[in-house]
């Protein structure tokens, strides 16, 4: 069905009404529901609206709609934003990492009959104007009509940076900056995975892993993420000092890491949500230490742990993707051994670790793990500070940051 082109100046970005939220989800459900029915897809999103990542208006669906009829269900396209706590450390600031606000963006969708009219690109350009402080942006472009009105009380225009994960290559989002001309948008960065494939690995021993460890439930994983925050803040300060670049990162607590776990939910026949695993992480135990809190008690003693989610969107394979990994060169082999043990036990065909630091990539390759550039879910960021994008560094660019999990990794062999 062809639709007529509406001039961009007659359109603006609006927070979706409840009916528009539902319409937006209905539109993208056939594309992204995979194993869920459309009804289950809608139910999952409705349930997750009540979770911590969305509380206090942190989650907003946006529509690009006519200024003359902002609540229409015939809007042009839509997307979602997640406001989150993040940290930034500057190399010249001895006071350490500072807490900031940042955004993650997801579910950019134009229905097929409205595509290729420039709507999605315009929506993404306007998005900078609602998430970033006015002071971080240039003059609002002539030809776009009056600037987008930003509703009060939603914590908007506060971002130090925003990120997204592109499944349409690097150029599309890179071209969507805050002005009408192409460029100045989200820069693809750090899309790297370190992987293990069951069919390529020796079948291993029947005995369990040698490193003492405790498995983590979802609640345990949430607790561990909170305990990891001071370590992450210290690491980010160190990264800024050693690299001479401003370092930034999201944090996995406050519902952020839990989002990618809950997103795996499916439903029983009577619509009760169920998760595909009971175990969502593992913590290695140095001997003589008994509990989780003791392992994180001393900032000078690095804990070793991994948390994960499961990508079940393929009929034929299950992929475990780590959400957070903390390990040293010395402890990584033991952690990988435990991960492989878990994968074999749970009939998982591939393990992906996103954003493993280079020194650890080398250690992983000694255990026959392969590091390669990701071809999908390309992480990309837009920085709203005074520094150039080459002067900043995204730390902990791992899967816990992800706002969206619909498609399975394409390079499962
Ligand atoms: C991607 C999408 C949002 C673009 O919406 P749109 O309103 O048609 O976008 P615009 O008209 O502003 O821009 C069109 C441009 O998008 C780019 N584009 C669209 N789909 C693309 C894809 N799969 N891969 C790479 N680039 C793509 C192209 O550069 C295209 O330009 P062209 O017409 O010269 O080929 C839309 O195609 C869509 O909803 N796709 C399905 C969902 C999806 O993949 N969303 C993105 C998730 S990261």
CA distance 112 to 330: 51
Our measurement of the distance from residue 291's CA atom to the centroid of its chain's CA atoms, rounded to an integer in Å, reads 29
* Location of structure tokens 């509990």: 291
CA dist 406 and 261 (Å) reads: 13
How many Å lie between the centroid of ligand 1 and the Cα of residue 355? 26
- Decide: helix, strand or coil at residue 58: coil
Return the ligand 1 atom nearest residue 116 CA: 11
Residues 6+ apart with CB under 8 A from 42: 22, 25, 26, 29
Residue written as token pair 């033991």: 334
Distance, in Å, from the CA atom of 249 to the CA atom of 324, rounded to the nearest integer, reads: 12
As a whole number of angstroms, the distance between CA 180 and CA 142 comes to 9
Strands (E), 112-176: 159-166
Pairing relation of β-strands 98-109 and 77-89? antiparallel
Select from 114, 120, 123, 185 the residue to mutate for testing ligand 1; criterion: most ligand atoms less than 8 Å from CB.
120
- Rounded distance between C-alpha atoms, residue 41 and residue 413, angstroms: 28
Residue by residue, pLDDT tens for the chain (413 residues) are 455 678 999 999 999 999 999 999 999 999 999 889 999 999 999 999 999 999 999 999 999 999 999 999 999 999 999 999 999 999 999 899 999 999 999 999 999 999 999 999 999 999 999 999 999 999 999 999 999 889 999 999 999 999 999 999 999 999 999 999 999 999 999 999 999 999 987 776 556 788 899 999 999 999 999 999 999 999 999 999 999 999 999 999 999 999 999 999 999 999 999 999 999 999 999 876 778 999 999 999 999 999 999 997 776 789 999 999 999 999 999 999 999 999 999 999 999 999 999 999 999 999 999 999 999 999 999 999 999 999 999 999 999 998 875 543 333 32
Confirm whether pTM is higher than 0.85: yes
Residues 8-188, CATH architecture: 3-Layer(aba) Sandwich (3.40)
DSSP class per residue in 350-370: EEEEET--HHHHHHHHHTT-E
Q: Residue 243: which H helix or E strand, with range?
A: helix 218-243
As its CATH architecture, domain 192-373 has 3-Layer(aba) Sandwich (3.40)
Residue nearest to atom 30 of ligand 1 (CA): 116
* Chain region(s) in the chain for CATH 3.40.630.30: 8-188
Structure tokens at 267: 């439903």
Which residues approach ligand 1 with their CB closer than 6 A? 31, 77, 108-110, 115-121, 166-169, 172
CA atoms within 13 A on the CB side of 221: 27
């Amino acid at each position: 069905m062809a639709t007529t082109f509406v001039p961009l100046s007659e359109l603006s970005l609006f927070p979706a009404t409840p009916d528009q939220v539902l319409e937006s989800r209905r539109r993208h459900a056939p594309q992204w529901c995979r194993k869920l029915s459309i009804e289950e897809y809608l139910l999952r999103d409705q349930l997750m609206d009540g979770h911590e990542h969305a509380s206090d208006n942190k989650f907003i669906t946006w529509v690009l709609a006519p200024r003359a009829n902002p609540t229409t269900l015939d809007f042009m396209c839509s997307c979602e934003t997640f406001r989150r706590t993040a940290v930034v450390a500057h190399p010249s600031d001895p006071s350490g990492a500072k807490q900031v606000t940042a955004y993650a963006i997801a579910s950019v969708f134009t229905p097929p009959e409205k595509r290729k009219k420039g709507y999605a690109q315009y929506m993404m350009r306007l998005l900078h104007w609602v998430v970033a402080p006015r002071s971080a942006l240039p003059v609002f472009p002539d030809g776009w009509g009056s600037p987008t009105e930003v509703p009060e009380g939603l914590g908007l225009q506060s971002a130090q940076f925003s990120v997204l994960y592109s499944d349409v290559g690097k150029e599309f989002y890179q071209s969507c900056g805050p002005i009408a001309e192409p460029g100045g948008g989200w820069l693809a960065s750090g899309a790297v995975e370190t992987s293990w494939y069951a069919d390529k690995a020796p079948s291993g021993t029947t005995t369990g892993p040698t490193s003492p460890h405790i498995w983590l439930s979802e609640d345990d994983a949430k607790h561990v993420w909170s305990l990891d925050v001071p370590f992450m803040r210290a690491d980010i300060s160190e990264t800024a000092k050693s690299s001479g670049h401003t370092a930034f990162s999201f944090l996995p607590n406050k519902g952020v890491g839990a989002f990618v776990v809950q997103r795996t939910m499916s439903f029983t026949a009577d619509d009760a949500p169920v998760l595909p695993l009971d175990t969502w992480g593992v913590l290695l135990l140095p001997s003589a230490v008994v509990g989780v809190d003791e392992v994180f008690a001393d900032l000078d003693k690095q804990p070793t742990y991994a948390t994960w989610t499961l990508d079940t969107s393929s009929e034929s394979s299950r992929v475990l993707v780590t959400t957070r990994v903390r390990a040293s060169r010395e402890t990584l082999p033991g952690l990988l051994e435990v991960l492989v043990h878990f994968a074999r036990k749970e009939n998982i065909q591939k393990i992906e670790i996103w954003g493993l630091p280079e020194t650890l990539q080398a250690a992983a390759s000694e255990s026959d793990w392969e590091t390669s550039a990701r071809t999908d879910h390309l992480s990309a960021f837009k920085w709203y500070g005074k520094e150039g994008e080459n002067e900043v560094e995204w730390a902990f660019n791992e899967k816990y940051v992800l706002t969206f999990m619909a498609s399975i990794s394409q390079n499962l062999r």
